[in-house]
Structure 1
Amino acid sequence: METMTMNDAPSPRSGSPRILYRQAKARDGADQAEVFHHAVMQGAAAHYSVEQRAAWAATMPREASAWVARQALYTTLMATCDGRCVGFLELDIPKGYIHTLYVWPSLSRRGIGSTLLVHAERMLLEHGWGHATIDASRMLAESLLRRGWRDLGTEWVTRNGVRLERQRLEKRLSAIET
């Protein structure tokens, strides 16, 4: 996915930002750390307590090197604005599993996460998968269920001694003409 695609291309009148999509690079690690931290601490505030969000955020350090190391484990798709990461998705292609999806809180509900999912679904289809799975937070699960994902059940995970609820979801994949 080295080729960049655009979403919300700026018009001369609106001045809205242009979002570009590509695979992550090592230089994106620090931005990923910040997107993750803010998405959890601010973006999930309506769905999880402060204690739950702090435990969740503490699972990954706010250091670029930790996120760069994850790029070696997962195919990481990036949404950027003015060269900075504003959202990312980690994809485990051999398992047909979307590991993470985070978007900067002030940019949520603008299609960035949905576009990252479209790119991930396309990649999974290209690798022979007919479905995708994800363990989604309460916030993400609500959105995915409205978009045709199927609920496979609720599970509880413990992060730093605190229990967090998440939902296992699945989606059947089909080719989309573009």
Structure 2
Amino acid sequence: MSVPLQANKQIEVVPYRRRYARAVSELFHHSVHQIQHERYNAAQLNAWSQAPRSSQHWDLRLSRSQAWIILVTDAASLSKICAGFINVETDFHHQGYIDSLYIHPDWQRQGLGERAYRQLEQWAKEQGYCQLSADASYLSRGLFIKLGFVQQQRSYQQKLGQVLPSFYMTKKL
């Protein structure tokens, strides 16, 4: 169940730093295992994320790309919660590929994914990227369509003997 954003909450989209690696790892694993969709069964979710990966894994993965963290700050306590993250590949062969966009289940459907994407798109335009692409899950496909992406084809990833269906989508900038 989503927790509605309240007036006393502030949202920031900040560049990724190593100190967020553990929160990203936990958020990713938790988000995957909270998926309830008829297109994904338990075996597929376990293949998608068997257990939280190490902080080192996530730091290496996100440091090799351009990444942002979505922080929700409670104005009263000033505590910050990692509510999501997004990253885009910067390597020449994969330039402009959105590798990850995950929002904690408690914060989904409140505009955080779109807000993070807008930050990424602005950065990509400043870098001179002419296109962005993503393999969208059944859950994120609607968001990517709303953001102006066009489905090019169905795509599939194989992990631990399980096939994870998705949609290869692109957007011209």
Q: Verify: 1:49 aligned to 2:41, yes or no.
A: yes
After superposition, residues 1-178 of structure 1 pair within 5 angstroms as 11=7, 15=8, 17-42=9-34, 44-46=35-37, 47-58=39-50, 61-82=52-73, 83-94=80-91, 95-173=95-173
Measured after TM superposition, the shift of residue 149 of structure 1 is: 1.1
Gaps of 5+ in 2: 74-79
TM-score by length of 1: 0.83
Distance 1:110 1:157 in 2: 28
Partners of 1:28 and 1:84 within 8 A in 2: no
How many residues are matched? Answer: 160
3-state SS, counterpart of residue 164 of structure 2? strand
CA RMSD, Structure 1 to Structure 2 (Å): 1.8
Deviation digits for residues 56-75 of structure 1 (CA, Å, limit 9, x no counterpart): 013x7432121111122111
The equivalent of 1:5 in structure 2 is: none
Distance 2:99 2:14 in 1: 17
3-state SS, counterpart of residue 18 of structure 1? strand
Partners of 2:72 and 2:83 within 8 A in 1: yes
Gaps of 5+ in 1: 1-7, 174-178
Distance 2:172 2:108 in 1: 24
Structure 1 residue ranges, 4+ long, deviating more than 3 angstroms after superposition: 8-11
Higher relative CO (Cα under 8 Å, sequence separation at least 6) belongs to 2
